[in-house]
Amino acid sequence: MIFIKTLVSFLKDPEYRDLLFTTMIILTFGTVAYRYLENWDWVDALYFSVITLTTIGYGDFTPQTVEGKIFTVFYIILGIGIILSFVNTVYAHFDKLKKEQRDNNTPSS
């Protein structure tokens, strides 16, 4: 239940919506680039974009073309800050709601 509340309140806030929108643009940009630079299918390109920007880097996919490698360098520099901001913002928002819920459930003396 708290997850749904968090998601709804997250989407109502313009700052969070803008961050979500920016994150989606960066992921879409990477997905399209890898689709055409590396000739990967759409799912693999999206998967690699997410894995790269979250710094997980499983290593099951790697760019093979020079263009793909150069793009990856700039993509990481551009995208990692945005993705980390997104993850941090979601965590902070979730933590704030959790504290508010705990404070509301605490009986006053």
pTM of the model: 0.72
In terms of Cβ atoms closer than 10 Å to its own Cβ (0-12, 13-18, 19+), residue 75 is buried
* pLDDT single digits (tens) 6-43: 677 777 877 778 888 888 899 999 999 999 999 999 99
* Domain coordinates in residue numbering, the chain: 32-89
Is 27 or 105 the better-scoring residue by pLDDT? 27
Q: Tokens 């630079």 correspond to what residue?
A: 37
In terms of Cβ atoms closer than 10 Å to its own Cβ (0-12, 13-18, 19+), residue 21 is exposed
At the topology level of CATH, where does 32-89 sit?
Answer: Helix Hairpins (1.10.287)
